[in-house]
Structure 1
Amino acid sequence: MEKVKVMLLSVLLSLIAFSCKDDDLGDLVPPEVVFNYTPATPVEGQEVLFYADRAVGSGEVSTWNWNFGDAKGSTSNKRNPYFTYEAAGTYNVTLTVTNAAGATHQVSNQVVIAPKPKELVASIVWEFNNNTAVTAINEGSSSPVIGDDGTIYYLESRFGNNGKVVAVTDQGQTAQLKWAREVGHYIANAPSIGPDGNIYVNTWDNAKAIQKLNGQDGTVMWTGGGSGVLGASNTTPAIDSQGNIYHGSRFTAPNGGFFSFSPTGEKRWQIIGVGAFYTAPVLSPDEKTVYVLNTNEGKLWAVNTADGTSKWTESVGMGSGTHGSSLSMDADGTIYYTTNAHVVAITDNGTTGAVKWSATVTGAAQSGVVIGANGDLYTGSAAGLVALEPANGNVKWTYNLTTTESVPAVDKNGYIYIGSADGKLVVVSSEGLLAKEFPLGTGAVNSPTIANDGTVYVEALAGSNIKLYKIAVEESGPADSPWPMKGRNVKNTAQTK
């Protein structure tokens, strides 16, 4: 009898298989699906795309029914619907699928909708023109610096010509020239302010490679050059709390290298004949170590500030040549640098360093990494403004624009400011959405600086002149983060404390 039952069941299944189409067979397998959504961190009022796929081994799906979990009970029967949440909050989204045979499967995920960022209320207050004719904006991600008395210092320079350091007094609705000083050669970087309030600037000139200017009247207090010290490009001087200066040269051999000077201009130590250092250094919190990128090697050096000896047994990095990177440091001591192909995170393990991660980001070399209050990293690149996750370097989003040698700056409301190559200061939210554009000139806009009251100062090429702009931003200020802008602070010192 059992044999008969088995034979009858076998015949029945054969008849079903013979009489059914392939799709009908799929209906006999229960459906199973998974879903996700983009953007990963949506905000209220932003359109969200939900997309679903059949799981491995799932049968065919005939209907897709979404419940978005809002107060209205909003639904959709599309496979990949768009939906906009009107309010911030956490929503339980449920997708129910059914096959032709009536079998169902249900899956739920929580979706966190963030509130809209604080509205950006900002406007251009003034522009200042010192009427120095140039053919292009100075290179090296130049950014204004701000003294304790509120004086703003910025640079005017063009390739192969005499550069100027310009001091401007902000008088509220207007600006007034305080002084302007020629430095005898081309400048391709940004200035720094020492603890004594005086200005440091690197030039291309071997005889006057680094200069200290009086912050009050611009007189040259001393120059560091000759005796094996060579000119600099794309490297802003780092200055420790004692006023010691750290300077990299643009030459390789025999005398190119990395140097330190005392506040009074004496050479403290030098590392020469090892490659060019087209980078702005960064100091450790205890100021015992200065980190700098050897651009011939494409690797990071860790140098003892006291005597110029190497802290690590060997340099560390991706090994690809680059120049113009502005180094930065996170709260946990991670050092970031950029190349034409990567953003690189380096860990200092004491006597050795190690690559923590590297992310493929084309054309980031002449920008630099800054850090938002939420820990996200931002850099300029060939594709535009890029946001990365600090844990692994994964790209969160990219805001498309053309930028050249602009290091972004982040304010306390999460807005990121970056200069474009076509005359705009572009402001993007922490979710990668455009907040505002300020048309400033006809060419490149350099790296912005955010004052403590939220005011943004930035240089832009306008015709044949470099202009300094003041942009007032309500209820703002630098992000409360380890590194919110180029050089970390408004003095561009690269100090981390």
Structure 2
Amino acid sequence: MGLLLVIGSISCQQDIRLKWKLKLGPRCTPPAIAKDGTIYVACENGGLYAVNSSGEIIWQDTIYSARFKNLAIGENSRLYAGTKDNSIYAVTHHRKFNPEDTSQVGLPFYDTKDRYSHPAYLALAKDGTVFMAIYWRLIALDTSYYDFEPRWVFNSPELGRFECPPAIGMDGTIYLGSTDGKLYALNPDSTLKWEFETDDNISSSPVIGANGTLYLGSSDSCFYAVNPDGSLKWKFKTGSFIFSAAAIGEDGTIYFGSEDRHIYALSEGGKLKWRYKTDIWDFSSPVVGADGVIYIGPGEGCSLLRLISNFRLRGKPFIYAINPDGTLKWKYRVRSNISDPTLGADGTLYFTCSKHLYALQTASPGLASSPWPKFGADNQNTGRVQ
């Protein structure tokens, strides 16, 4: 099943192993890993897949009316899948057939019924509430009903678009960035706690540090640290747009990519620890291993602006493994942009690319024990600080 690949163009001559790759469907979501190790992926053609760690499909299903954009795992391994068409589905397991007429049992479902199609981005609260960011609205959904019921709806005051998943703090505060350049903080009852303004679009999710500090990038080329009360802690200027969410290491170091082709490592105080120049412009969100190694590749992105910029892949598509000191460990050639990657408990790096789910064996012993080591905060992509 495994294939040993030697990447000969790297100075440190590291070997990495492609464990397997599995053909699925077009434009698949970032993988989500359940606590039992099952890997879940949803695709733009409506395909839903459950895959084991050996690369074998446990079950698959197709919802022909759905074009899936993102996926998260809630309590009792319930899957929540947001689509590009204003809706969200929930799956508790592989769907069964009705014994009376052999039709498939329906799925819990919510649709905004908007006239135009917009992606639905998700975050999952501890109490089971699903937050659905769609265009200029954030909708809190009560999932105790079969077809979800909105608890409340927050409308962007300036009708800016929400183009990536929200983030949920330890106290239940919901944070989300908007194309109006503002970061919004909402109380669990939908009231506005505060807003923080940058100088351009925010098209990536904020991430949350151990002390509640929020970290996010903007199209104004700056990376921001915002205190829990909404005041500026510090900002750091890069050479171009920042479209992808950051990740945080065990020592509090913040990692992210900028369209100036560099991967950045900043201290908790906003000082540059190092930056590494790559062959790509458009980055995925990084994932940080328990050994401090950072994995990042050419990203697909959330925002409309980034999707336009990624219509043609820019640069050479490599996944980079960067040591904690900023030196290259290895790089792995891929065919195209990748989803935001994740790390399994055994150090397997999972990502989707060109209709396939990939599994690369790494030396990392699982995810870093930090509040936000990857896209979505955890392997279930809940978007909730740990």
The answer to whether the superposition gives a TM-score over 0.5 is yes
Match of 2:341 among 448, 453, 457: 448
Which of 289, 303, 320 is the matching residue for 1:411? 289
Aligned to 1:176: 57
> 1:177 deviation in Å?
4.8
* Counterpart pick for 2:89 among 211, 215, 218: 211
Partner of 2:228: 348
2:354 is equivalent to residue 436 of structure 1: no
1:244 partnered with 2:129: yes
Q: Secondary structure at the match of 1:196?
A: helix
RCO (CA 8 Å, sep 6+): is it higher in 1 or 2?
Answer: 2
Match of 1:360 in 2: 237
Distance change in 2, residues 1:327/1:232 (3 Å) = farther
* Alignment match, 2:5: none
Measured at CA, do residues 397 and 424 of structure 1 come closer, stay the same or move farther in structure 2, by a change above 3 Å? closer
> 1:493 and 1:147 mapped to 2: Cα distance?
11
- Counterparts of 1:157-168 in structure 2 under 5 Å? 157=44, 162-168=45-51
Aligned amino acid, residue 278 of structure 1 = E
Compared with structure 1, are the counterparts of its residues 217 and 316 closer, same or farther at alpha carbon in structure 2 (3 Å cutoff)? same
**CA shift for structure 1 position 286:** 2.6
Per-residue Cα deviation, 1:9-55 (whole angstroms, up to 9, x for no partner): xxxxxxxxxxxxxxxxxxxxxxxxxxxxxxxxxxxxxxxxxxxxxxx
- Residue number among 350, 353, 369 corresponding to 1:480 in the alignment: 369
Query: For residue 187 of structure 1, what is the amino acid of its counterpart?
Result: F
Whole-angstrom distance in 2 between the partners of 1:362 and 1:279: 22
CA deviation after TM superposition for structure 1 residue 320, in Å: 1.2
Equivalent pairs counted in the alignment come to 344
Cα distance, 1:231–1:345 mapped onto 2, change above 3 Å: farther
CA change 1:492–1:368 in 2 (3 A) is: same
Instruction: Check if 1:281 corresponds to 2:156.
Output: no
Query: 2-side partners of 1:330 and 1:220: how far apart?
Result: 39
Counterpart secondary structure, 1:237: strand
**Of 264, 271, 275, which residue of structure 2 is paired with 1:397?**
275
Q: How does 1:235-274 map to 2 (within 5 A)?
A: 236-250=121-135, 256-263=136-143, 264=145, 265-272=148-155, 274=157
Q: What's the CA shift for 1:398?
A: 2.6
Alpha-carbon distance between aligned partners in 2 of 1:391 and 1:222, rounded to the nearest angstrom: 44
Q: Letter of the aligned partner of 1:184 in structure 2?
A: S
Alignment CA distance shift 1:298-1:489 (3 Å): same
- Counterpart in the other structure of 1:55: none
Mark the structure with the bigger radius of gyration: 1
1:311 maps to which of 172, 193, 208 = 193
Q: Quote the RMSD (CA, aligned, Å).
A: 2.5
Q: Indicate yes or no: 2:292 matched with 1:388.
A: no
User: TM-score normalised to the size of structure 2?
Assistant: 0.81
Match in the other structure for 1:38:
none
CA distances 1:379-425 after superposition (whole Å, capped 9, x unpaired) = 12211322122212536223323153511101011111011354432
1:472 and 1:220 map into 2 onto residues whose CA distance is: 37
- Report the CA distance between 1:216 and its aligned residue: 3.5
Aligned equivalent of 2:110? 224
Amino acid at match of 1:439: R
Structure-1 residue corresponding to 2:319: 425
For the residues of structure 1 that align with 2:78 and 2:360, how far apart are their CA atoms? 25
Q: Deviations over 1:143-169 (max 9, x none)?
A: 210112322112322xxxx44332222
What does residue 460 of structure 1 align with?
353
Q: In structure 1, what is the equivalent of residue 75 of structure 2?
A: 195
| Whole-angstrom CA distance in 2 between matches of 1:183 and 1:319 | 40
Q: Distance in 2 between matches of 1:470 and 1:220?
A: 32
Q: What runs of 5+ residues in structure 2 fail to find an aligned partner?
A: 1-11, 97-104, 299-312
Using the alignment, how far apart are the partners of 2:197 and 2:272 within structure 1? Answer: 18
C-alpha displacement at 1:427, in angstroms?
0.8
**Which amino acid counterpart does residue 243 of structure 1 have in structure 2?**
G
Distance change (3 Å), C-alpha of 1:129 and 1:228: closer
In the alignment, structure 1 segments of 5+ residues that lack a partner are 1-115, 251-255
Distance 1:201 1:301 in 2: 24
Paired letter, 2:197: G
Q: CA deviation at 1:212?
A: 1.6
Structure 1 equivalent of residue 100 of structure 2: none
Q: Distance in 2 between matches of 1:384 and 1:397?
A: 6
Secondary structure, in 3 states, of the residue corresponding to 2:68?
A: coil
Note if contact 1:185-1:203 (Cα within 8 Å) is conserved in structure 2: yes
Percent identity (aligned): 25
> 1:425, 1:217 → 2: CA distance?
35
Cα distance change on mapping 1:362 and 1:475 into 2, 3 Å: closer
Distance 1:220 1:438 in 2: 41
2:249 pairs with 1:372: yes
| Aligned equivalent of 1:156 | 43
Counterpart Cα distance in 2 of 1:121 and 1:215: 37
